Amino acid sequence: MIKQTIFTLIAGIAAVTAVTAPSNNAPAHPPFDAAEKSLEIFTHLENKNLDGLGTLLHPNVIFSLPMSFNGNQDPARYVVGKNEVIEYLKGPMDFIEVIDFVDFRTTVADNGKTTFLQCKGQFTTAEGTPYLNVYIYRCDWDDNGLLINFEEYTNPMTYCKSFEDPDCPPGLYQPPQ
């Protein structure tokens, strides 16, 4: 009986170890530093270096603004494809003169394949007006270190007060004094 119990115990430990041990085929962590790559995105944005940003994007990258301007659950923006995302990001760069992200807090999740970055934006518009907003970004990376999903969570009310956008509720825009 003792032999049977010991054998059962050893077989159980072997089964648990086989199920929970990391696979030899897949690394436990990706072969890149997700936090470092995420901060690289913001360096390219601050420098308005869309070519540099493009080197980090997967061909089928998705960029979205999940927080809507009207309070529903539809994203305010949803753009698919490397070229389309780069083209979309050119727009804000036309009306924002200075892009400065500060006070980063970075969290790496999902075995290094997802990063969350919380920061403040201390921007200046093309007219010289300060544009101050808060941001949370989610970056999902593929196995090769390319950005496959890029979500920007920001306060849409701050945006709507600062910029005249047809998607914003009427009456929120406050032109610079």
| Amino acid 1: pLDDT | 53
Hey, where are the domains in the chain?
A: 30-162
Per residue in 54-111, pLDDT (tens digit) is 999 999 999 999 999 888 899 999 999 999 999 999 999 999 999 999 999 999 999 9
Per residue in 4-33, pLDDT (tens digit) is 544 444 444 444 444 444 444 545 557 789
| Amino acid 134: pLDDT | 98
Higher pLDDT, 26 or 140: 140
- Architecture label for domain 30-162: Roll (3.10)
Q: Which residues of 11-42 are buried (b: 16+ CB within 10 A; e: fewer)?
A: eeeeeeeeeeeeeeeeeeebeeebbebbbbbb
| Amino acid 69: pLDDT | 87
pTM (whole model) above 0.85: no
User: For residue 111, is it left (φ>0), alpha (ψ between -120 and 50) or beta?
Assistant: left
**Cα(167)–Cα(177) distance, rounded to whole angstroms?**
23
Q: Which of 130, 64, 50 is nearest to 96 (CA)?
A: 130
| Identity of the amino acid at 133 | N
Per residue in 40-50, pLDDT (tens digit) is 999 999 999 99
